[in-house]
Structures are given as structure tokens and as C-alpha cells.
Amino acid sequence: MSEQGTWRVKKGLAEMLKGGVIMDVTTPEQAKIAEAAGACAVMALERVPADIRATGGVARMADPTIILKIMDAVTIPVMAKCRIGHFVEAQILESLGVDYIDESEVLTPADDKFHVNKNAFKVPFVCGARNLGEALRRIGEGAAMIRTKGEPGTGDVIEAVKHMRMVMSDIRRLQNLPEEELMTFAKEMAAPYDLVLEVAKAGRLPVVNFAAGGIATPADASLMMQLGCDGIFVGSGIFKSGDPAKRAKAIVAATTHYNDPQVLAEVSKDLGEPMVGINCSTIAEIERMQLRGW
């Protein structure tokens, strides 16, 4: 019997993206540049996070016209973002046929308490997380892929590092707990108990985990891979830099050869200006996108 939208099928696409780079694009031309550089998928947006941050106001799902044009322009998977809790934006994106939905803190949240019930959809979802508890809550709601949040639109990798270390250290700690302590761990983490058991046994998240939010150079990408993520999201870091095509290609190579300093040195040469960036420590709490999500 044939079945669509099963957990294995949803999770499976994320498995195929592993070791790759997913790039934010706002036009079909950018999508083609990303594909030519070796991106394993693109995220179709109206504005990259750095511009969302600069413009202010309410950030929403992109115009379907833009998403459809990008889907037409490339053969690699196309993802798109909906607001946290905005299940109608998600329904619209599913009907457009996007390959993955990112329920994203980069957009202005539509619900201050609840996320989308992602189990109700045939299309798979990716969600942001800063620690193990948040990751497992999202997986409990049906997310088939996780990305650590970092601080989007900054080009400053410090928060991405912090969140990846947090998730990995939570997992290591969990693995060393005796069984009788797991329920209290689940309670403290505000994480579903069955998923806590699963992680304690497997020693890793039950789904693929990418790094995001502030990655701007090949070295940044390799750093996140060495810290244990499965792949890389680059938002503003490529198309806000001096030579997007070259930088995109270099970040792809760095993600594959993340353990090989010689290759990393080679691909880091002559990349032109990186995105200017914002030092995360200068961002007021209210403007921190990573705090969105419940």
C-alpha cells in the first residue's frame, strides 16, 4: 500500500539535505545563483532577515507569486516561512506545493502561546530551537527537522554557537542520567517524556538538526559542523555580501570538508566583503528574534 506524508517520508527529506547548505533567496535570479553554487535547498523569502531587522514593522509569509517563481526557477527543494502559530499561512504554503515549511521566529509571531500543529500537515516542517527542551516540544508538535536559532540577520555567529552547544550539552547530560531521573528532567526541560526517553537512548535528536542565525563565512559553517550540526542555513550572509556566488560556493565546500583545514583555507581566499553584520551584544532584548517561540 502506498502512503504519503508519513513521518518517515517527512523526516527523510531532511536526511537528504544533510551535509548541505540551505540558502535564503528573495528572487528567482538569486535562487539560480544558490543552485549553481551547490545549495541543497533554498528558502524563498520577501526579505532576508537583515532587511527584516532594518525595516521593522510586521514580517509575514512571502507573497505566493514570489514563492512560485522561485519554485519554477530551480530543481532543488524550495522551503518557505510562515509565522509562529499562523496555521493558515502554513495551509497556503502547503497548497502551493513548497517542499518544507519553516515556522520561523524571523517573521513576527501570530500567536503568543501556541505553535502550529504540524502533525496535521502532509508537508514537513522545520522549527527553531535554542535548547533540547524547545527542540523536543517542536518535534512533539510534528516538526520533522530542527535548526538551532542563533540570532538571524546579524552575521554574528556567537548565538548560533551558544544554541548548538546548549543542545549538545543537554543531550550529553541526559545520556548520563539514571532512568529514575528522566521524568524530572523532562519536567524541567518542559519536553515530552517519550521524546526524552528516545534521546537518552539514541544520544541524538530524533530528527536532523541544522545550524542557523549568524553564519557568514566558510569558517563559521565549519565551526557549526564541528560542533555537531547536520547542515547549515545561511540567511543574509550570502546575498548581503560583496560576491554572493563565490561566497555561496565556498560555504558549500566548507560544509562538506568541515574537518579539513587545508580545504577551508583554500576556499576562504578572496571572497570579497562579508556582510557588515551587527554585534549581537548590542541588540536590545525586545529585538532578539531568538526569544520568539514558546
Distance of CA 74 to CAs 8, 193, 220, Å? 25, 41, 26
Which one among 55, 65, 75, 282 touches other proteins, defined by CB under 8 A?
A: 75
- Applying CB under 8 A, the site for other proteins has a residue count of 39
* 29 near other proteins (CB under 8 A): no
| Cell triple for 26 | 528573495
Stretch that binds other proteins, among 54-62, 80-88, 248-256, 282-290 (CB under 8 A): 248-256
87 is an interface residue for other proteins by CB under 8 A: no
Q: d(Cα 72, Cα 31) in Å, to the nearest integer?
A: 10
Nearest approach, Cβ of 93 to other proteins (angstroms)? 10
Identity of the residue, 4 or 65, whose beta carbon is nearer to other proteins in the bound complex: 4
> What is the Cβ-side half-sphere exposure of residue 134, based on CA atoms within 13 angstroms?
22
Question: Nearest to residue 103, comparing CAs of 79, 122, 68?
Answer: 79
Q: Which residues pair with 100 in a beta bridge?
A: 79
Among residues 111, 194, 260, 273, which is the contact residue for other proteins, using CB under 8 A? Answer: 260
Considering the complex, state which of residue 48 and residue 225 has its C-beta at the smaller distance from other proteins: 225
CA-closest candidate to residue 234, choices 10, 29, 28, 50? 50
DSSP state for residue 246 in the 8-state scheme: H
244 binds other proteins (CB under 8 A): no
> Which residues in this chain contact other proteins in the complex, by CB under 8 A?
1-6, 8-9, 12-13, 15-20, 35, 37-41, 75-77, 94, 97-100, 122-124, 252-253, 255-257, 260
